[in-house]
Amino acid sequence: MTMTTAIRTTRNKPLDTTGIGLRPPHMADILAQKPAVGFLEAHSENYFRIGGVPFENLMRIRADYAISLHGVGLSLGAADGVKEAHVQKLKTLVDLVEPVMVSEHIAWSGHGALAVPDLLPLPRTAEALEATCRNIDRVQDALGRQILVENPSCYISFPADDGMTEPDFIIALVRRTGCRLLLDVNNIAVSAHNLGYDPLQYIRALPRDIVGEMHLAGYQVNKVADAEVRIDAHNHPVYDEVWALYDAALAHFGDTPTLVEWDSDLPPLATLLAEAAKADACRHKQERHVKAG
Amino acid sequence: MSKLDDLQQDMLRKLIAQEEGGTGGAAPEKNLRIYRNNTRIVLRDMLKDTFPVTARLVGDAFFDAAARDYMQAFPPADGDMTDYGADFPAFLKHLPGLQNYLYVPDMARLEWAAHAAYLSPRRPPLTTTALSAAAADPMMLKLYVQPHVFLLRAGWPIADLWQKITETEGDALPQTALKAEESFTAVFRDDRRIAVWSLTEGGYTFLEYLQSNPDFPTAAAAALKAEPGFALDRFLGLLVQQGLLCQEK
């Protein structure tokens, strides 16, 4: 598979900044208060109906903020390919919003005429790698730009894994398609706990040049058959352990635009902004380290 | 069929069927229940967001069970789930347990119309001046209805009930003795909110005709036939005032 030829990277201008996830209950506050925040990340599918109320609100917010579009339903790992209609709806939205970044997940959520509202993990096989590369190529070709793909949060692993680690799989995806990695630090903490690997080793296994954005969020701990399972619920402040991993990631990858996500049990906007300020402080501390070094 | 196809089909089937236990197949069973629960909860919550009044009418336990049955009968087909729930009103109609609550499926239809209106665009509205100019030759007049206007004909006075319930705080329901009667309703966007109007049969017929054909004389004749004495001028004034007509398609 060759690298997609039609990628334009100029619109993916690097953002030296920290953002927050844009959620509908916060829209009125954002429009009224215009808080100082680097960028806002919207879930693409929520705005597919061009001209509807959510889309109108997004375009009003876009007048003041850089927007990143983060998809949750493309099913990049689908064995039977991405749905062309979905790709076209995304393209229409991207052309109108002109986001600073477009991202999706290294996951799948549908096959044939069935889909679920979840991000399901892929087995790390040559076949899954091939299918995902093919799908990323298709999306980048259609959009005419580079996308970022997010490392998954996992609760299960597959016996059929072809001896590839998750970093191996990600590196192959990025190198073969020319996309970049959206490193979700919380997802590393979640999967490392659930599947039993070393999160720091995971970070160090990734080359320094492949990360274009980082995500931070809070997980939830559930008891499943007497074992503690971390769930990627985005309903909690970022855990100290994840802040420490974030510091390690910044040290390894250098300063990277970062986004704080919160989806369930949504707190007041101020809480989310305080988390973003905390991430900002980590990034600037890291920058001073680099300068001093 | 490849191994990845097998795995994905098997896993989706288990998640949608809410199938527990080691039934074999390509998907690992350990911790699959996390995805199974998430699928059920997220789809139920999506329906509850779209049909909040319906959920209050039937209560949480009934709604949760209905949402689970609906998920299995009409699973989502695509990662764009904006249209998830389109068949829910019709599904409720055939659900055992609602025999004494026949207005519930009609209420769900109203809520689906509200969902669709919320996601529909607004075109530049027809102004009074533009209407007056165009009406110089009424036989040639063409009127277009805004794409966010949705019409419902129902066997119950659902617009009144919707209004009462949405104005009642908390989970309590207003005490209403509902009598079956034919009703005509328009659901539309009022800027960024949803508005619901009770119509007469003439108003309903007028808008219904215009939605399929913008020819004013035909729609006017149909409205007057459906409701002799229908106050067309007054209704037209209301439509223009509310911005429900637009200059072109």
Domain span at A37 = 18-292
Contact A203, A242 (CB under 8 A): no
Query: What is the dihedral sign for C-alpha A262, A266, A272, A275?
Result: negative
pLDDT at B42 over 50: yes
Contact A12, A179 (CB under 8 A): no
**What confidence category does residue B43 fall into, taking pLDDT thresholds of 50, 70 and 90?**
very high
Give the helix ranges, DSSP H, for B135-215.
158-167, 201-212
The whole-number pLDDT of residue A219 equals 95
Contact B159, B196 (CB under 8 A): yes
Count of Cβ atoms closer than 10 Å to residue B172 Cβ: 9
**Cβ-defined contact of A131 to B122 (cutoff 8 Å):** no
Taking residues B12-22, what's their average pLDDT? 79
Quick one: closest CA in B to A233, which residue? B38
B119 touches chain A (CB under 8 A): yes
B16 touches chain A (CB under 8 A): yes
**Cβ-defined contact of B32 to A156 (cutoff 8 Å):** yes
The whole-number pLDDT of residue A293 equals 59
DSSP at A4: P
**Cβ-defined contact of A120 to B11 (cutoff 8 Å):** yes
Residue A268 belongs to a domain: yes
Q: What percent of chain B has pLDDT over 90?
A: 76
The whole-number pLDDT of residue A217 equals 96
The whole-number pLDDT of residue A285 equals 84
**Cβ-defined contact of B4 to A74 (cutoff 8 Å):** no
Q: Give contacts of B82 with chain A, Cβ < 8 Å.
A: 45, 48-49
Give the count of domains, chain A.
1
Give the helix ranges, DSSP H, for chain B.
3-17, 32-50, 52-58, 60-73, 88-93, 103-118, 128-134, 158-167, 201-212, 216-226, 232-241
Residue A5 belongs to a domain: no
Burial class (CB in 10 A: 0-12, 13-18, 19+), A180: buried
**Cβ-defined contact of B76 to A116 (cutoff 8 Å):** yes
Q: Which residue has the tokens 């503690």?
A: A228
Count of Cβ atoms closer than 10 Å to residue A277 Cβ: 13
Single-letter amino acid code for the residue at A274: A
The whole-number pLDDT of residue B207 equals 98
Single-letter amino acid code for the residue at A176: R
pLDDT at B2 over 90: no
**Cβ-defined contact of A123 to B12 (cutoff 8 Å):** no
Residue A31 belongs to a domain: yes
Q: Which region holds residue A78: left if phi is over 0, alpha if psi is between -120 and 50, else beta?
A: beta
The whole-number pLDDT of residue A133 equals 98
What's the CATH number where A120 sits?
A: 3.20.20.150
Q: Tell me: the pLDDT tens digits for B84-137?
A: 999 999 999 999 888 778 899 999 999 999 999 999 999 999 999 988 888 888
For residue B143, give how far its alpha carbon lies from the nearest alpha carbon of chain A (Å).
21
Q: Which residue has the tokens 């005032």?
A: B241
**Cβ-defined contact of B3 to A112 (cutoff 8 Å):** no
B22 touches chain A (CB under 8 A): no
The whole-number pLDDT of residue A163 equals 86
Contact A69, A102 (CB under 8 A): yes
B68 touches chain A (CB under 8 A): no
**What confidence category does residue B138 fall into, taking pLDDT thresholds of 50, 70 and 90?**
confident
CA A208, CA A216: separation in Å to the nearest integer?
19
**Cβ-defined contact of A117 to B77 (cutoff 8 Å):** no
Residue A12 belongs to a domain: no
Residue A130 belongs to a domain: yes
Residue A2 belongs to a domain: no
Most A CBs within 10 Å: which of B6, B13, B119, as the mutation test of the A interface? B119
Q: What are φ and ψ of residue A105, in 5° steps?
A: -115, 150
**Cβ-defined contact of B119 to A54 (cutoff 8 Å):** yes
**Cβ-defined contact of B4 to A123 (cutoff 8 Å):** yes
Contact A9, A36 (CB under 8 A): no
Single-letter amino acid code for the residue at B199: L
Contact A46, A73 (CB under 8 A): no
Output the average pLDDT for chain B.
91
Q: Which residues contact B127 (CB under 8 A, 6 or more apart)?
A: B240
Residue A126 belongs to a domain: yes
Produce one character per residue of A237-247: b if its CB has 16 or more CB atoms within 10 Å, e if not.
Answer: bbbeebbebbb
Most A CBs within 10 Å: which of B9, B14, B31, as the mutation test of the A interface? B31
The whole-number pLDDT of residue B169 equals 78
Q: Tell me: the pLDDT tens digits for A104-159?
A: 999 999 999 999 999 999 999 999 999 999 999 999 999 999 999 999 999 988 87
The whole-number pLDDT of residue B24 equals 56
**What confidence category does residue B23 fall into, taking pLDDT thresholds of 50, 70 and 90?**
very low
The whole-number pLDDT of residue B134 equals 82
Surface of B (135-164) touching A: CB under 8 A: none
Residue A50 belongs to a domain: yes
**What confidence category does residue B179 fall into, taking pLDDT thresholds of 50, 70 and 90?**
confident
B79 touches chain A (CB under 8 A): yes
For residue A110, give how far its alpha carbon lies from the nearest alpha carbon of chain B (Å).
7
**Cβ-defined contact of B35 to A116 (cutoff 8 Å):** yes
| Residues of chain A predicted below pLDDT 50 | 1-14
* Pair type for strands B144-145 and B245-246: antiparallel
Report which of B58, B131, A156 is spatially closest to residue B67, judged by C-alpha positions.
Answer: B58
Q: What are φ and ψ of residue B138, in 5° steps?
A: -60, -25
